Amino acid sequence: MHPSCVSAGQLAPVFKLPTNLTDNPGIGHLLLCQDRLCDAFSLASQIQSQHMYLADFAGVHRPSLFKALAQSAVKPLKELVAKRQDDNTELNWQEIRQGEHGTVATERGLYTILGQKLSRQDLFGSLQTDAKGKLSYQQGALASYPYVFICVESIYRREGLWQLLMAALEHGSYRVGKEMTIPLQSTVILVGSALQYSELRAHDHEFVRHFPLLGEVAHELDLTSKTEQDYGLWLKALAASEGYSLEDSALMPLFLFSARDCEHQQRLSLGAQDMVQLFAQAAVYGRSTSLAGTAIDKAIRQLKRRHNSSERFSAQSFDDSFINLPTSGEMVGQINGLTVIDSIDYSYGEPARITATVHYGDGEVADIERKSELGGNIHAKGMMILSACLYRIFGRDAPLHLNANIVFEQSYQEIDGDSASLAEYCCLMSAISEQPINQSLAVTGALDQFGNVQAIGGVNEKIEGFFNLCERRGLSGEQGVIIPHANLLQLNLDPKVIDAVRREEFHIFAVEHMDEAVELLMSLPAGKADEEHNFPENTLYGLVQARLDRLAGDDLEDEPNGLLARLLAKWPFSRG
């Protein structure tokens, strides 16, 4: 087994950045990667009886997206005209004509967005009496725009308004007062999350009938199917829509910021809301609406600084030695794991000391976190997989005669996830074999039952969390982290980490199997079993097997067998 040492060139994405892009490429570029969404919107614009549900996410900048959609299927503005036939007056929509008489309502623009405090009048309009006692129609959104975007939360919980909208879609018209029936002209687009769509589709039959078209907003771009130039034009169009322009130097920090958000070297975020806010902040720092790389860099640094108070308090606890976590030397049954602390607006990595003890028992590997109700279900699953690995290697033919206790030391909140299972396994091997673990290395990775190391989340935050601790204590050149090989495409590390790796002051090792990790941590070959499932004595698993045999009493060749024989051996008449 040979773990690979990750080079500095693999620690961040590499982009072929475009140059000399036009500052205002057009709002249509904001629909990058939105092919499915555009298809649904196009159908909704052409089929009068089929309306659309737009499933977006928290990072969507709705004003720019909705404007781009509406302009992708422009409709000529119309007016509502009253025509008298016989004794009846009919209302019909027609294209606006100069000098036409009998106009009741005129469309004011291409689209509108309704949300928050939505009233019946906002949606349908109302009849009002002027000073002369004459009734006039005060038009609502459905008579003012061909495309009406409605936040689903603002209408669905108001049962009366929801039923009025469903009735209007059913009949193709809606009543205003007792005297007027307005034919429906608008295309309605409900906007909400994919989860809300699923709930509505499952529980509301009227919704299913009137909103058959689903348009789901794509949240990231894949560089294997699109190019950096496509994304550069998207950024330029987004900046232009808010009144900014991007200099060429601004593209690299924006690309890295976007890739970090996706946790992937070949994917870029389409979360425009964060970008728009970042543009505004950079414009203040740079004192210009023309955004340079220095202004973007500062905005990103200050963004982190405003949200990382928990991380700074955590670092202080380590620096004051309130939390015991060595980063040098060797210890038996102790290992440095890597965790991620998630809050609503910020995530950061925090090392965790994991310890294991073993003693004679019935083969249970006890998860103290679970027993103390501080471990989640996924963490418990990881511990069960760890136990399965142990029994697969050493318990094929007979039960194990040991009990083990594994715990996250100084942990006072719930721990979940299976990303610590590799570290816990290595710690258990150390405790059983009594071989010390190198404390300069921290470990993260999830195991399957066959010992393969699987990808984990938050790999960048975990690496940076341990690096920051080591940097504050002084980089020795021996410190580093062990990560799953499957996470290499997610690496997008802080430049100071990359520089330290380049200078060989810090190391990142990628492993595919748990045996690679134990060999690296304990400087011993893991060992390969022979046909009788025995490991060589000078290997780690050989030492583990020998300890397990001692616990089972299989190597007591010089001791009398059985309780009675041991008691008789203590009596004088039993000795020769």
Q: Are 394 and 400 in contact (CB under 8 A)?
A: yes
User: Where do the DSSP E strands lie in 361-452?
Assistant: 365-367, 402-408, 436-438, 441-443, 446-447
Q: Are 386 and 365 in contact (CB under 8 A)?
A: yes
Which residues have C-beta within 8 Å of that of residue 469, sequence separation ≥ 6?
A: 315, 318, 325, 327, 351
419 is known as an active-site residue:
yes
3 state DSSP class of 341: strand
Q: Are 437 and 331 in contact (CB under 8 A)?
A: yes
Q: Are 13 and 265 in contact (CB under 8 A)?
A: yes
Q: Where are the alpha helices (DSSP H) in 395-503?
A: 421-433, 459-473, 495-502
From the candidates 144, 314, 387, 419, give the one annotated as an active-site residue: 419
Q: Which residue has the tokens 């380049």?
A: 502
Tell me the C-alpha distance between 260 and 267, whole Å. Answer: 9
Of 253, 226, 228, which is closest to residue 18 (Cα–Cα)? Answer: 228
Angle separating helix axes 421-433 and 540-552, nearest 10 degrees: 60
* Total residue length of the chain: 576
Residues designated catalytic: 419, 462
